[in-house]
């Protein structure tokens, strides 16, 4: 239920973007579920992903690889993040370190078939005219 709602939100935002009738070549969604909703909205509007617009999500949920087209996404190293958090917590509890306010984690771009090189701006304007 929650996934369907978030997917619908992504679909709604993509429809709003299309309604603006401004050229764009890509959408980077705040998570994979909203990116999937955007895929549906673009396809419903007659746009081809990635030929007309590229879509990128964030999280690399399991179903992202099985979308049509498979979703390009940013994968967070969740296990590594958990290990670092546990190590910091244990070090603090045992008094080995002072408070760490931030640390850097490198995500991984997982390139699939929902992205391609951008077309020139004339083609992008022409393709956006398909939108409702």
Rounded to whole angstroms, how far apart are CA atoms 113 and 11? 19
pLDDT category, 122, cuts 50, 70, 90? very low
Report, as an integer, the average pLDDT of 117-131.
55
pLDDT category, 110, cuts 50, 70, 90? very high
Please check whether residue 31 is in contact with residue 64, taking contact to mean a CB–CB distance below 8 angstroms: no
pLDDT value for 95: 86
> 7: closest CA among 74, 51, 45, 61?
61
pLDDT category, 5, cuts 50, 70, 90? low
pTM (predicted TM-score): 0.77
Q: What is the mean pLDDT of the chain?
A: 86
Domains of the chain: 2-128 (3.40.50.2300)
Alpha-helix residue ranges (DSSP H) falling in the chain: 2-19, 32-44, 78-93, 121-128
Q: Give yes or no for residue 132 having a pLDDT over 50.
A: no
């Amino acid at each position: 239920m929650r996934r369907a709602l978030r997917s619908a939100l992504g679909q709604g935002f993509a429809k709003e973007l299309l309604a603006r009738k401004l050229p764009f070549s890509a959408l980077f969604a705040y998570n994979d579920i909203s990116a999937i909703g955007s895929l549906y909205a673009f396809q419903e509007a007659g746009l081809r992903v990635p030929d007309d617009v590229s879509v990128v999500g964030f999280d690399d949920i399991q179903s992202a690889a099985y979308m049509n087209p498979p979703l390009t996404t940013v994968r967070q190293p969740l296990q590594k993040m958990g290990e670092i958090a546990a190590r910091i917590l244990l070090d603090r509890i045992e008094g080995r370190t002072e408070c760490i306010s931030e640390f850097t984690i490198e995500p991984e771009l997982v390139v699939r078939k929902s992205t391609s090189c951008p077309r020139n701006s004339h083609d992008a304007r022409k393709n956006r005219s398909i939108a409702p």
